[in-house]
Structure 1
């Protein structure tokens, strides 16, 4: 229980969760999906990957640790692997057709309505969702068993993304409306968080990439086409995120907002190329979001012009920390301290530096099949973040 007395207000370098997985582990997941690697063999590789990564994170001086999400195929497995009730085939890990198509330098359109894993695709429910395994508690306990000397955070996908990836229109025999579905989601996730808090975790990170849908015209038009009101969806989503974390005293909650972490590789040069799922600036929803959320840390994507200016930071309340995602996970280029410090200075026009922190814009993996940065590039990017924070905040 290494986190009980830690002050996360002073955490100046944060991370979003996923790290670059070892190639051996990625291959094992592929083989496991087809029955050629056993559960025990896969677990042994997961254990080794997590142990090696925790050692490396502590070695380079990261002030907050994660297990790299190496026990997940996709960051959304924190919920989808925890529950029963979704309509998914037994061999879902072997399916590939639903995966997004590479679209270098441009928006990526996901295949939400094909058959695939729950939450990654819009699956209906065949029965009310029930908690089967507390995925995040298992992950935390496995890291704590390594006796780390640095605090550990765990990430959980939030109710908004789960609701956006639920085929409610095909589930009305089980759930009459989205309100009923979200009520179950919040209740289940509160069970998961309660177990995590009891085990000693004091920093819980909620992944909420779906909120950028409410500033993206394409996404909102899809909602309307399904008979949904984007404004009502947003209000419901904010309430659900706040209900999720209510009453967990002494626990720091972070909320991560981004436009998607998709990447591809340039077929001509082999260079990693940025893609994204949503467009639009925070400006259109910042005041409503930032002033409504009860989370203490807001992890915001600010690595490209798609994010817009820092002006929306003026709406961040005085009791919250804005974590600026200034370092990209979508390019091999290593940011410089001077460039990061200039960006922090720009942000300081809208809020005090004392209420800021810095981080990568998203996870370094998010999905095992996503195009990845080389692992050494990832560590170099963290090194720049750490050295920049030392110079800015001491």
Structure 2
């Protein structure tokens, strides 16, 4: 790894619990009671406060908490031409929820010549981070696989506009669109990019695999889709840009969506040219570190997510130290620490309070000496 790249010992995944003023402003905007400019003013103030607070708590890499987003993935994917979303109601964990799923509605591309809200959001974050010496701004976006997951494996759409049933052509266009998007972020100053992609963990869950088999797909074919499009997306990436990936087993209001071990997907993911892999390991559901032995001596950083953002119980430094030692014994010394996920993958947030959120951040930073 180039010495110019970011490789913090302790790092966050990205999202934070939304402040009440942001929730109120977003609700008012949806009700047409305030303008987009008025919403942005509230978000700007909250993000500036969040960046300052992250720095006060000792973080050297900061995010905007995803305060401008409803969903962790869809707000980013809407930056692409040829992608739309469908609103529906779905029962999850015994509760009726309003959700969105994405689908292909034309040729997929990314237009670097027009303004993009997510790029503007990064510029604001970068300007705030620049106020603090030694602090880097990290942009979090969702990965290309999520387009395929929503369209094919969630909504079950096979014959799509422009592409028909030609998945390979669609994958080529998604990969090229991501290359253009990454270059656009780079040209606007981004040097630390995290690509979030839970698609891999869909395929470690036996129930989901049974579902896609019933739809006429098989796991190996879908994994090859994911490998191919992810590899294409990273082609021509700038040499001095840190590009990481994060995945977990889902995090909808603090509830996981999938279960299983990483054994069948880790060897494929490890082939992808990311600089850092953020992986959920906050409980026994994750299994051992053995699947990631393939990363040993590769120079890639394994960021082990040992601090839970969905469970209010506090981990202990002793437990974290023991788990880090287990990871190093298998993966090597290039192991660092993070929470297992963000604190609010959707705007409602996880089932913890703000005080606990910051206690978790303080625990993370205090464990830097263990890394």
Q: TM-score, normalised by structure 1?
A: 0.84
- Quote the Cα distance in structure 2 between the aligned partners of 1:350 and 1:5: 24
Establish whether residue 172 from structure 1 lines up as the match of residue 151 from structure 2: no
Change (3 A) 1:143 1:173: closer
Matching residue of 2:69: 72
Residue 346 (structure 1) aligned with residue 326 (structure 2): yes
Q: 1:103 to 1:388 in 2, by over 3 A?
A: farther
| Aligned-partner SS, 2:336 | strand
C-alpha separation in 1, matches of 2:362 and 2:157: 47
User: Which digits, 9 at most, give the CA deviation of each residue in 1:200-235, with x for residues without a partner?
Assistant: 221110101110122111222222222223201111
User: How many residues in Structure 1 have an aligned counterpart in Structure 2?
Assistant: 358
Aligned-partner Cα distance in 1 for 2:90–2:131: 36
Paired residue for 2:343? 364
Whether contact under 8 Å (2:13, 2:341) holds in the other structure is: yes
Q: Within the alignment, does 1:387 sit opposite 2:366 as a pair?
A: yes
Matched, 1:43 2:40: yes
Counterpart selection for 1:193 from 182, 191, 216:
182
Q: Is the 8 A contact 1:20 1:372 kept in 2?
A: no
2:292 corresponding residue in structure 1: 313
Partner Cα distance (1:34, 1:330) in 2: 30
Aligned CA-pair RMSD:
2.3
Instruction: Give the direction of change, closer, same or farther, for the CA distance of 1:99–1:83 in structure 2 (3 Å limit).
Output: farther
Match of 1:245 among 234, 238, 259: 234
Partner Cα distance (2:41, 2:278) in 1: 32
The question of whether the paired residues in 1 share the 8 Å contact of 2:260 and 2:286 is answered with yes
**Alignment match, 1:107:** none
Does the CA contact (< 8 Å) of 1:204 and 1:253 recur in 2? yes
Determine which structure has the larger strand proportion and give its number. Answer: 2
Could you tell me whether the CA contact under 8 Å between 1:85 and 1:130 is conserved in 2?
A: yes
Alpha-carbon distance in 2 for matches of 1:189, 1:98: 30
Note if 1:154 corresponds to 2:150: no
* 8 Å CA contact retained: 1:134, 1:192: no
Q: Deviations over 1:48-105 (max 9, x none)?
A: 111000001111110211111111111113433313434547xxxxx6x53553349x
Aligned position for 2:93: 102
1:151-196 Cα distance to aligned partner (Å, 9 max, x none) = 1111111111221111473543422222222222222222111011
Q: What stretches of structure 1 of length at least 5 have no aligned partner?
A: 90-94, 105-109, 264-273
Task: Identify which range, 274-283 or 44-53, moves more after superposition.
Answer: 274-283
Instruction: Name the SS of the counterpart of 1:364 in structure 2.
Output: coil
Map 1:260-271; keep pairs closer than 5 Å: 260-263=250-253
In structure 2, how many angstroms separate the alpha carbons of the residues matched to 1:384 and 1:84? 41
2:305 to 325, 333, 336: 325
Q: Which moved more, 1:165-174 or 1:145-154?
A: 165-174
Task: Write out aligned runs for 1:195-234 (5 A).
Answer: 195-234=184-223
Q: Is the 8 A contact 1:136 1:192 kept in 2?
A: no
